Amino acid sequence: MNILKWVFTILIVSLLKPQISIGVSEISQEFLEFAKKDGVFDWMVGIRRKIHENPEVGYEEFETSKIIREELDKLGIFYKHPVAVTGVVGFIGSGEPPFVGLRADMDALSMQEMVEWKHKSKVPGKMHACGHDGHVTMLLGAAKILKNHTHLLKGTVVLVFQPAEEGGGGAKQVVDSGSLENLKAIFGLHVSPGHPLGQAFSRSGTLLAGSGFFEAVITGKGGHAAIPQHSIDPILAASNVVVSLQHLVSREADPLDSQVVTVAKFHGGGAFNVIPDSVTIGGTFRAFSKESFMQLRQRIEEVIIGQATVHRCNATVEFSTKAKPFFPATINDDGLHRHFQKVAGDVLGVENVKEMPPLMGAEDFSFYQEVMPGYFYFIGMKNEKNGNPASLHSPFFELNEDVLPYGAAMQSALAVTYLLENQHPGTPVSEDHDEL
Render pLDDT for 384-403 as a digit per residue (tens, 0 to 9).
Answer: 777 789 999 999 999 999 99
Q: Among positive and negative, which fits the CA dihedral 272, 275, 278, 284?
A: positive
Q: What is the mean pLDDT of residues 237-256?
A: 97
Using a pLDDT cut of 90, give the percent of the chain over it: 87
Of the listed ranges 23-32, 150-159, 219-228, 369-378, the least confidently predicted one is: 23-32
Q: Among positive and negative, which fits the CA dihedral 172, 174, 176, 178?
A: negative
Fold that domain 210-319 belongs to in CATH: Alpha-Beta Plaits (3.30.70)
Residue length, the chain? 436
What confidence score (pLDDT) does residue 428 get?
A: 45
Q: Is the pLDDT of residue 21 over 60?
A: no
Q: Is the pLDDT of residue 7 over 80?
A: no
Query: d(Cα 232, Cα 276) in Å, to the nearest integer?
Result: 9
Kindly report whether the peptide bond that precedes residue 82 is cis, defined as omega within 30 degrees of 0.
yes
Per-residue model confidence as pLDDT tens digits over 139-149:
999 999 999 99
Q: Is the pLDDT of residue 416 over 60?
A: yes
What confidence score (pLDDT) does residue 86 get?
A: 98
Q: Is the pLDDT of residue 265 over 50?
A: yes
Q: By the 8 A CB rule, do 278 and 219 touch?
A: yes
Residues in Cβ contact with 116 at an 8 Å cutoff, skipping those fewer than 6 apart:
none
Per-residue model confidence as pLDDT tens digits over 182-194:
999 999 999 999 9
345, containing H or E segment: helix 334-348
Q: Is the pLDDT of residue 298 over 50?
A: yes
Burial code of 140-156, b = ≥16 C-beta within 10 A, e = fewer?
bbbbbbbbeeeebbbbb
Under the banding of pLDDT at 50, 70 and 90, the label for residue 425 is low
Per-residue model confidence as pLDDT tens digits over 155-189:
999 999 999 999 999 999 999 999 998 999 999 99
Domain ranges of the chain: 19-208+329-421, 210-319
Query: d(Cα 118, Cα 48) in Å, to the nearest integer?
Result: 13
How many CA atoms, within 13 angstroms, populate the side-chain half-sphere of residue 193?
Answer: 19
Kindly list the distances between the CA atom of residue 130 and the CA atoms of 46, 124, 401, 409, 428, in Å, as whole numbers in the listed order: 18, 17, 13, 20, 42
Fold that domain 19-208+329-421 belongs to in CATH: Aminopeptidase (3.40.630)
Of the listed ranges 2-16, 125-139, 379-393, the least confidently predicted one is: 2-16
Under the banding of pLDDT at 50, 70 and 90, the label for residue 381 is very high
103, containing H or E segment: strand 99-105
Under the banding of pLDDT at 50, 70 and 90, the label for residue 25 is confident
Q: Is the pLDDT of residue 5 over 50?
A: no
Under the banding of pLDDT at 50, 70 and 90, the label for residue 8 is very low
Does residue 191 sit in helix, strand or coil?
strand
What confidence score (pLDDT) does residue 323 get?
A: 73
Per-residue model confidence as pLDDT tens digits over 350-366:
999 999 999 999 999 99
Query: d(Cα 416, Cα 40) in Å, to the nearest integer?
Result: 19
